[in-house]
Amino acid sequence: MAEKKVYDFMVEDIKGDEVSLSEYEGKILLIVNTATQCGFTPQYDILQDLYEKYQGEGLEILDFPCNQFGNQAPGSNEEIAAFCDAHYGITFPRFTKINVNGEHAIPLYRYLVEEKGFEGFSPESNMTPILEDVLEKSNPNYKNEPDIKWNFTKFLINREGHVVERFEPTEDMGYVEDRIAQLL
């Protein structure tokens, strides 16, 4: 049986239309679960800058809003899209609000987590102790589980459709850019 790739999955765009990720074959992908009311929401600015800088070289950023962490993406798909347009001028592809963990997690995210599990938050980030405290209280074993821990977790996909790296929301975005640039 052929090895699974990101291109094997179907997802729904922000309007609810089915999209095959095979449409992005040959591109470098950064797949991100986002939220509009999160401490990491300003990363939208950086993501948009990266998209504008590298789209011509083959980068696509795929935005999947998720309300599973602190109820920080409470709006409808339309409200989320309007927020992103008004505050950040987002032009990269956006998809319908999803679950990334649990029994209702979409198959794409189950695959991503199987490919690259949690390896810890960036020790340099001032948000790391806050996230660790929140997660420790809800699940003392969280460090040993591969699931998504918070909004703005990112997966870097190479041109062959394989997951090459996972970045937690605390990762320095300069490092994320360097890793993207290496693949381009």
Q: What is the distance between the alpha carbons of residues 6 and 27, in angstroms, rounded to a whole number?
A: 11
Average pLDDT over every residue of 59-77: 89
Count of CB atoms situated within 10 Å of the CB of 81: 18
**Residues belonging to the active site:** 38
Q: Cα separation of 154 and 132, whole Å?
A: 18
Over the stretch 78-89, which tens digit does the pLDDT of each residue have? Answer: 888 888 888 889
State the pTM of this model.
0.94
Report the C-alpha dihedral over residues 64, 70, 75, 78, rounded to 10 degrees: -10
Give the residue from 9, 7, 2, 3 showing the smallest Cα distance to 110: 9
Q: What is the pLDDT of residues 138-174, one digit of tens each?
A: 899 999 999 999 999 999 999 999 999 999 999 999 9
Evaluated on CA atoms 3, 118, 63, 124, the torsion sign reads negative
- Is the pLDDT reported for residue 37 higher than 70? yes
Total Cβ atoms within 10 A of residue 52 = 13
Helices 43-54 and 77-88 meet at what angle, rounded to 10? 70
DSSP labels, 76-138: -HHHHHHHHHHHH---S-BB--B--SSTT--HHHHHHHHHS------TT-TTHHHHHHHHHHH
The pLDDT tens digits of the residues spanning 89-133 come to: 999 999 999 999 999 999 999 999 999 999 999 999 999 999 999
pLDDT of residue 2: 60
Dist CA 79 CA 73 (whole Å): 10
**Neighbour tally for 161: CB within 10 Å:** 20
Rounded Cα gap, residues 160 and 67, in angstroms: 30
Domains of the chain: residue spans and CATH? 6-183 (3.40.30.10)
